[in-house]
């Protein structure tokens, strides 16, 4: 029997099909269901639907469940539909009828929505922290290897001199730009849907501004229909942010695989971080980076899956939306795994310092030679033709000194400016407000969120 059912139960086949994978995801939502319920209970007391004693009982019961979640002893019992029902069952079992009052003024729709918003907000924070760590490492590597020259490529053909400082710095700045999409996702996520009920409001005099403040949301989805329509839109924004970060990691992984190839030999990793062959003793395969490339390609495909799922869906709640969890929840976990593994691998990278001393790379300096002639007074077209003819005649013998000084070039990486961009981007995420609000909401409990 479900909490919302009055008499008969569903057939087991329907039950299994409609529940799907929800139980495994509901455990992840458990602490956030408690937080939403704490705020909702406090609001119900403020508008007179709970007495102060009833609020005290509910707070005590919810904090007990919070502690059990953090200790790993909370579980959704057999026959209980979902995490929301489990929390309400426990409150009613332990504290009587007051547990049955908690659902006043909310629907399962907005209860799930607020749980998801809080969960996504928490996950965004974890991902931002992982991005910060990788960014710091890339900036450090860029500074360390700023004078290590390497080939630059266009059309995968040798083009111009580059440097490892330039390469690492490029990936660092790309991470900053990814944060623009994370900021957009965070702004959608960090709005309160609680009080929208089934999508059309409630005849109770709910104080939605109060629950917004209690849960540390930066704003409110004011229109109750729009609050419900934010489910799906929220996941869409998240998927584009995930795909953007995955794209940066994908390029980093693809480059690394190429640079590890023996024909390049630009970088190496310790034997224990590569894999061998069953028949070729010399092999050092970049399996970690190949899997990073594959996983990040999967992540870059997620927005399309979500866009297709949301196609032709009218206003209001639809059960279709449940399946978004099957894309977004694993994607968030996979992106964190990819970020953390990238950090781990790059702590062990070794870089060849004398790549461009090989005469094989002499043509890389053709542009440098053209520019040198132009600086000496020769028109650009004439300089270009002269160098081209020297190359054809086999008399091209360039200087290998590189003198790039403009912003963002080999000799002026502007790492401090990229660092400033990162700090500005991070300041857009008001996690301090979240911390302060949640600490007040939890009150005396000494167990922080540990998932």
For the annotated catalytic residues, the residue numbers are: 155, 277
CA distance 337 to 345: 12
Q: What's the token pair of residue 378?
A: 């020769």
| C-alpha distance across the termini of the chain, in Å | 30
392: region left, alpha or beta (phi > 0 left; psi from -120 to 50 alpha)? alpha
Cα angle: 248, vertex 411, 244; to 5 degrees: 10
Residues belonging to the chain: 451
> Contact at 8 Å (CB) between 4 and 81?
no
Q: C-alpha distances in angstroms, 381 versus 86, 158, 384, 388, 397? A: 77, 22, 5, 11, 19
């Amino acid at each position: 029997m479900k909490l919302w059912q009055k008499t008969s139960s569903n057939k087991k086949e329907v039950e299994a099909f409609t529940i799907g994978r929800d139980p495994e995801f509901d455990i992840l939502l458990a602490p956030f269901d408690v937080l939403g319920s704490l705020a909702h209970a406090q609001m119900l007391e403020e508008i007179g639907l709970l007495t102060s004693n009833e609020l005290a009982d509910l707070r005590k019961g919810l904090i007990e469940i919070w502690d059990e979640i953090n200790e790993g002893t909370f579980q959704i019992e057999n026959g209980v539909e979902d995490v929301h029902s489990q929390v309400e069952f426990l409150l009613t079992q332990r504290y009587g009828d007051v547990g049955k009052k908690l659902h006043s003024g909310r629907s399962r729709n907005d209860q799930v929505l607020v749980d998801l918003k809080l969960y996504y907000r928490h996950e965004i924070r974890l991902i931002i922290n992982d991005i910060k760590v990788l960014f710091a490492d890339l900036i450090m590597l860029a500074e360390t290897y700023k004078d290590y020259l390497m080939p630059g490529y266009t059309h995968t053909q040798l083009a111009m001199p580059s440097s490892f400082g330039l390469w690492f710095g490029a990936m660092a700045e790309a991470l900053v730009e990814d944060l623009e999409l994370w900021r957009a996702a965070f702004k959608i996520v960090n709005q309160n849907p609680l009080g929208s009920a089934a999508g059309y409001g409630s005849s109770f005099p709910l104080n939605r501004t109060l629950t917004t403040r209690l849960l540390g949301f930066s704003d409110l989805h004011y229109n109750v229909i729009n609050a419900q329509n934010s489910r799906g839109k929220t996941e869409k924004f998240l998927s584009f942010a995930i795909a953007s970060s995955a794209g940066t990691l994908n390029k980093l992984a693809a480059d690394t695989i190429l640079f590890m190839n023996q024909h390049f030999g630009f970088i190496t990793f310790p034997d224990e971080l590569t894999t061998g062959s069953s028949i070729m003793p010399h092999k050092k395969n970049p399996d970690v980076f190949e899997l990073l490339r594959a996983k990040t390609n999967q992540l870059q495909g997620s927005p399309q899956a979500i866009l297709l799922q949301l196609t032709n869906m009218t206003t209001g709640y639809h059960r279709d939306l449940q399946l978004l969890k099957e894309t977004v929840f694993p994607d968030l976990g996979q992106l964190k795994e990819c970020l953390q593994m990238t950090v781990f691998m790059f702590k062990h990278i070794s870089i060849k310092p004398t790549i461009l001393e090989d005469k094989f790379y002499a043509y890389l300096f053709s542009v440098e030679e053209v520019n040198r002639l132009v600086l000496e007074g020769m028109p650009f077209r004439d300089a270009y033709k002269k160098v081209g003819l020297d190359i054809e005649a086999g008399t091209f013998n360039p200087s290998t000194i590189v003198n790039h000084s403009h912003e963002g070039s080999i000799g002026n990486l502007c790492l401090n400016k990229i660092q400033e961009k990162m700090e500005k981007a991070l300041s857009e995420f008001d996690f301090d407000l979240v911390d302060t609000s949640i600490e007040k909401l939890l009150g005396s409990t000494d167990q922080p969120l540990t998932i």
